[in-house]
Amino acid sequence: MGTQRGREKQEDLFYASEQAEAPGHPFYQQLNRVLEEAKFDAFCGQRCRTFYHSKLGRPSLAPGVYFRLLLIGFFEGIGSERGIAWRVADSLSLRRFLKYGLNEATPDHVTISRTRRLVDEAAHQAVFTFVLTEVARRGMLKGKTIGIDATTLEANAAMRSLVRRDTSETYMEYLRRLAKEAGLEATDDELRRADRKRKKKASNDDWVNPHDPDAEVTKMKDGSTHFAYKAEQAVDLDTGAIVAITTHGGAAGDTTSITETLPAAGWAVADQIDTPTAPGKYGVQEQGMCEVVTDKGYHSGPSLVAMREMGVRSYVSVPQQPRRHWKNKAEEQTAVYANRRRVEGERGKQLLRRRGEFLERPFAHQYETGGLRRVHVRGRGNVSKRVLLQATAFNLALILRSLTTAGTPRGLADLNIALFCALGRLLATSHGFLHSLLPRWVSDHRFRDEIFTAFAKSQSHASMLSSCRKRGSDTGS
């Protein structure tokens, strides 16, 4: 089995000074301390023990190392496992984070993907819950007000590969058959132009991608049409921590997917009620989840009734609708009017403003800068595993932000640049003050001129770094 004990080795028989070394990255050093304090590797090894054989098979990847590799994907903004493997092989600081020596070969993308297929989705969910418990232990989870929202992820499936569900025909074969049955003769380009006017020509009821049957045709945020998945997550609107996340087909409606996400969020918050917190930190509310905040896509009579039956107050944005007739729907009428009354109140307006801040930000961190807007795996189970680990890394970033004021290595680098720029400006403005504070024994004017020249260069360098940070650099730092 790929365990941490199996990776323990005897010290090399040569002087340490003869081996090339590099200082570890301060961000990953702090992250390692957080994970080691929580005994992350021991938990992963115990949870994934059943997926490994104790003797047979080739040397495998330790569970703790596997999960750390996928966490690196979030922190480095890399979406593919191949890119993660390349990045780890080239980085000395990431080698140290994974506890790999210079004479050891880092895992390749085949080993990473093989381990992902080996470890089931429940184990990934357990790792997500483990980190959520650490978030609650540090007093960063309240659980009273939960916001739910969803986004679409482009699947690793091309539209040109879709086939008919009933006949397994490709798109062009289907058009040629229709033209032949109608007695028409036309080129492929003419058939495509004629078919553009037909409505619902790519319906999920009729078409499927044979390489990824779980992906569904949907319209993306930019207006294009792709095979996609839908990631829906529940976020604590008091702290920004992700408490639950589910994966669906790209065409799943909001009112349908919330029936899975809302109970998952309720159970996740309830499981953390007894988690002890640090002194001076508030713990998870004893009543559990009490309020749910969503956008107008989740507004419907049955969904509001379901929230009411779960004992939570709904704050769902009300879309513009014509006057409805509530014949034989008294329960839905009561739930809809009560939700409208709460949304129009001062508390409702405050929560809706908070929704825009705490719900959209995790999506930007996870899928834009986190590099997972397009998934590079196939199947809903594999996509769910990647999405769960992406949310796990986001919760770890919250912990790191509370310790280092930066949630990613790039954020820490930007913070250092900002501090350097502030120091340069301070030195420039205090030129005359420093001149008066120089010791009187520094009588050599040339020496004082060298000091002021160094101050001027520091100011120039700081302004250059600031402008590069605003424009962005070729290295992405």
- What confidence tens digit (pLDDT) does each residue in 319-349 have? 888 888 888 889 999 999 999 999 999 999 9
226-265 in b/e burial notation, b at 16+ Cβ within 10 A? bbbbbbbbbbbbbbbbbbbbbbbbbbbebbebbeebbebb
Q: What is the pLDDT along the chain (477 residues), one digit of tens a residue?
A: 555 555 555 555 555 555 556 666 888 889 999 999 999 999 999 999 988 887 776 677 899 999 999 999 999 999 999 999 999 998 888 998 998 888 888 999 999 999 999 999 999 999 999 999 999 999 899 999 999 999 999 999 998 888 999 888 888 888 888 888 888 888 878 777 777 777 666 788 888 999 999 999 998 888 888 999 999 999 999 999 999 999 999 999 999 999 999 999 999 999 999 888 877 676 888 888 999 999 999 999 999 999 999 899 999 999 888 888 888 889 999 999 999 999 999 999 999 888 878 888 899 899 999 999 999 999 999 999 999 999 999 999 999 988 887 777 776 766 666 665 666 666 666 555 555 545 544 445 554 555 555 555 555 544 544 544 444 333 333
Number of H helices, E strands in the chain: 18, 8
Cβ of 322: how many Cβ atoms within 10 Å? 5
Tell me whether strands 313-316 and 291-294 are parallel, antiparallel or unpaired: parallel
69 with 28: CB under 8 angstroms? no
Quote the CA–CA distance of 13 and 22 in Å, as a whole number: 20
Q: How far apart are CA 9 and CA 45, in angstroms?
A: 18
Between strands 207-208 and 291-294, the pairing is: unpaired
pTM of the model: 0.82
Q: What DSSP designation does 170 have?
A: B
CA distance 445 to 452: 11
